[in-house]
Amino acid sequence: MILWFSGLNLLLFVLLGIFLWNQKKKENQHLQSILDIVKQQSSQNSGVVICLSYHSSMHKALCELIDHVSKNKLVIVYDAPKWLFLSKQKKWTSHLLIPSTSIPHLADETRVIKFCGTKYNIINEATEYIAHQYLQNH
């Protein structure tokens, strides 16, 4: 009985490991697709992508910060109603806005993805990151 239970635990552990590995692989593929889209659309790729959702509690604060960033060209994957997307596109002419429909995996998450070669860091404190990286001298 104990051997059967140990074997079942081992099987569940292996299956969980395979599941988690598969999830990480899918996430890496999605993030690589983001980087590919950004590289296609932007000649000035800084390696930083802001994923911004209209439904996020950080939306208003992050939009205000982006309004003040003019020296650096930001790449923003933006999830918002079409009218708001077009409005921000007119307002943020120095930045590259990509509709989230191009990358549906990120449609509901607000975060910063910082790419460095084939590796990346996900920064969930987007407002703090933007304020520190781009507005610290103002």
What six digits make up the tokens of 46? 């800084």
Segment 78-123, tens digit of pLDDT: 999 999 999 999 999 888 888 888 776 666 678 898 887 777 788 9
| Cβ contacts of 95 within 8 Å, gap of 6 or more | 66, 69, 73, 74, 75, 76
Q: What per-residue confidence (pLDDT) applies to 1? A: 56
